[in-house]
């Protein structure tokens, strides 16, 4: 449209010049001729200037200083990328705008706002699409390679020794003993153990009575009710429980784990067996099934309403915590801002490089067409202004020459 108006302006100036020639005998003809010539000169000159920015006027390539943008493309691209990187999107400008952001308040508002079903569906679909691109076999192979190497470098025997040493020195071995003793007492008080103890005591006494006389005496005692296997099992169980509660039992336990520590530390064959068992376990870990199971579980939970309900409860709790403790909210905001500024300073040159690479990817015709589309339309008004202003200046000069 702007180019059409510019051409119409030149056409009007040409028409006025032809009219002035046709009516050259009239008194107003010299004024009209002067105005039309000046308008044509201004319009043609500005047409040449505007056209020379983007291409060779009339396709004449030997004209000097034409197709200026194309000839200076590299310099213009560097100037644009430098302008964007150092002026329009400078580090100081972006940092100042980051500091103005109330990130902590925005996070609280985001966490406090429940996810809509549409947002949940979109997130689920996005995560499912991302998981479709995850190569499960490669991940399983990487985990197997990584874990095998790390486990082979890990000396389990040394860690067993260190763990037992730490237990004894920190007196946590007593807590471990009390934990084990409590569960042993639960087993001793169970009905199954009591019945098994009765049967075992009966079998033991029957095996002990080898002679006929001993068997007769045992049978007589059983018939008289003197030997009650249930009471005997309860007595044995009570004695065991009392022993577990005594300091002597703890001392025996502590002595046993110290002996284990010394044996693991000094017995080369035992250490070798432990390390071989560790390596064998590492080589037989089903990482492929583990990864498949994990991916399946994630996909299943993504479509479970309880999962999103739990996510909602968790986000509300986090929002309440940040709202109740402003100092933690401020710390979170400062941490995000520092991380953002750090990444900005590290990767800020990428901005100019992206602009430069994007501009360099265009071919010359596309490059010229885009610039002419965004800039050339406004430059066409220069042609209009050149023709009008030139015409007015010509008219004024003709009047001045006529009167003075």
Q: What is the percent of the chain with per-residue pLDDT over 90, rounded to a whole number?
A: 3
Q: Which residues contact 117 (CB under 8 A, 6 or more apart)?
A: none
* Residue with the larger pLDDT of the pair 270 and 62: 270
Report how far apart, in Å, the C-alpha atoms of 237 and of each of 177, 198, 400 are. Answer: 18, 11, 133
**What number of CA atoms fall less than 13 Å from residue 375's CA on the CB side?**
11
Local structure of residue 376 (DSSP, 8 states): I
Q: What's residue 262's pLDDT?
A: 92
Q: What's residue 2's pLDDT?
A: 62
Mean pLDDT of 199-220: 59
Q: What's residue 32's pLDDT?
A: 77
Q: Which residue matches tokens 């990428």?
A: 350
Q: Which residue matches tokens 């905001």?
A: 333
Q: Which residues contact 206 (CB under 8 A, 6 or more apart)?
A: 218
Q: Which pLDDT tens digit goes with each residue over 63-94?
A: 666 666 666 777 877 887 888 778 777 888 88
Say what the alpha-carbon torsion angle 309, 315, 320, 326 is, to the nearest 10 degrees.
180
Q: Which pLDDT tens digit goes with each residue over 360-380?
A: 777 777 767 776 666 666 666
Q: Which pLDDT tens digit goes with each residue over 342-354?
A: 888 888 888 888 8
Q: Which pLDDT tens digit goes with each residue over 17-45?
A: 788 777 777 777 777 777 777 777 777 77
Mean pLDDT of 222-249: 73
Residue 166, pLDDT > 80, answer yes
Confidence of residue 6 (pLDDT cuts 50, 70, 90): low
Tokens of 11: 């056409």
Angle subtended by helix axes 212-224 and 191-208, to nearest 10: 140
Mean pLDDT of 202-209: 63
Residue 222, pLDDT > 60, answer no
Q: What's residue 374's pLDDT?
A: 66
Q: What's residue 224's pLDDT?
A: 47
* Residue with the larger pLDDT of the pair 105 and 9: 105
* Residue with the larger pLDDT of the pair 250 and 193: 250
Q: Which pLDDT tens digit goes with each residue over 315-350?
A: 888 888 888 888 888 898 899 989 988 888 888 888
Q: Which pLDDT tens digit goes with each residue over 92-132?
A: 888 888 888 888 888 888 888 888 888 888 888 888 888 88
Q: Rounded to a whole number, what is the distance in angstroms from the first to the last CA of the chain?
A: 42
Q: Which pLDDT tens digit goes with each residue over 290-300?
A: 989 998 888 88
Torsions phi, psi of 394, nearest 5?
A: -60, -40
Average pLDDT, the chain: 79
Q: What's residue 208's pLDDT?
A: 60
Question: Residue 370: how many CB atoms within 10 A of its CB?
Answer: 13
């Amino acid at each position: 449209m702007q180019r059409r108006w510019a051409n119409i302006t030149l056409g009007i100036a040409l028409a006025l010049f032809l009219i002035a020639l046709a009516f050259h005998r009239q008194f107003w003809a010299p004024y009209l001729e002067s105005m039309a010539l000046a308008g044509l000169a201004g319009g043609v000159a500005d047409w040449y200037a505007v056209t020379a920015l983007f291409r060779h006027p009339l396709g004449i390539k030997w004209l000097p200083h034409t197709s200026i943008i194309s000839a200076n493309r590299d310099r213009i691209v560097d100037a644009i990328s430098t302008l964007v990187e150092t002026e329009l999107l400078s580090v100081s400008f972006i940092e100042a705008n980051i500091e103005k952001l109330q990130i902590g308040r925005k996070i609280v508002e985001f966490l406090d706002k429940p996810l809509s079903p549409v947002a949940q569906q979109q997130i689920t679909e996005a995560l499912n699409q991302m998981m479709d691109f995850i190569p499960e076999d490669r991940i399983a192979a990487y985990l197997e390679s990584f874990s095998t190497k790390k486990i082979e470098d890990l000396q389990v025997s040394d860690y067993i020794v260190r763990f037992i040493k730490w237990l004894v020195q920190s007196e946590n071995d007593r807590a471990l003993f009390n934990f084990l003793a409590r569960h042993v007492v639960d087993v001793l008080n169970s009905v199954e153990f009591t019945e098994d103890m009765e049967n075992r005591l009966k079998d033991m006494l029957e095996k002990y009575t080898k002679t006929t006389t001993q068997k007769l005496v045992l049978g007589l005692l059983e018939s008289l009710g003197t030997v009650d296997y249930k009471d005997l099992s309860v007595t044995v169980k009570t004695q065991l429980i009392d022993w577990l509660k005594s300091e002597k039992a703890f001392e025996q336990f502590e002595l046993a784990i110290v002996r284990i520590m010394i044996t693991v530390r000094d017995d080369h064959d035992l250490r070798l067996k432990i390390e071989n068992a560790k390596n064998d376990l590492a080589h037989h870990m089903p990482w492929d099934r583990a990864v498949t199971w994990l991916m399946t579980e994630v996909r299943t939970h993504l479509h479970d309403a309880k999962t999103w309900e739990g996510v909602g409860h968790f986000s509300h709790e986090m929002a309440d915590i940040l709202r109740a403790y402003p100092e933690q909210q401020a710390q979170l905001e400062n941490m995000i801002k520092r991380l953002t500024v750090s990444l900005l300073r590290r990767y800020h040159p990428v901005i100019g490089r992206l602009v430069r690479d994007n501009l360099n990817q265009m071919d010359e015709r596309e490059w010229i067409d885009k610039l002419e589309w965004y800039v050339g339309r406004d430059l066409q008004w220069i042609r209009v202004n050149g023709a009008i202003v030139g015409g007015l200046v010509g008219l004024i000069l003709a009047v001045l020459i006529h009167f003075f």
